[in-house]
Amino acid sequence: MHYEGIVTVRFKKSVLEPQGQAVMLSLKETGHEDVDLIRVGKHIEVTLQAESEDMARQKLEKIAEELLYNPVMEVCEIQITGKA
């Protein structure tokens, strides 16, 4: 079976996130003074083959740990969204 999942990777709150800081600066320069905070993370869509939804989640967790995020600086959230 083919399953679809989403891996959301965000920087930890304690870590300075440079891309968001850059966007904040541009917003202030273009008059958007009402923005308090912007943090940019990753939204990763994955389609994979697995025998069950549980297996799909386990595979996706393994892939995320190996390649998609850095546990020192980032947090990661995994959702299986449905069958493909």
Distance of CA 22 to the CA centre of its chain: 19
Binding mask 29-58 for its own copies (x = CB under 8 A): -x-x-xxxxxxxxxxxxxxxxx--------
Nearest CA among 51, 52, 40, 56 for reference residue 6: 56
When asked if residue 2 is in the footprint of its own copies (CB under 8 A), the reply is: yes
Q: Which two tokens stand for residue 42?
A: 């990753």
Read off the tokens for 83.
């069958």
Q: Per CB under 8 A, does 75 bind its own copies?
A: no
Can residue 78 be called a binding residue for its own copies (CB under 8 A)?
A: no
9 CB neighbour count, 10 Å cutoff:
18
Which residue, 66 or 72, is less far from its own copies as judged by CB? 66
The contact mask relative to its own copies for 10-29 (x = CB under 8 A, - = no) is x---------x--x--xx--
* DSSP state for residue 33 in the 8-state scheme: T
Contact between 70 and its own copies (CB under 8 A)?
Answer: no
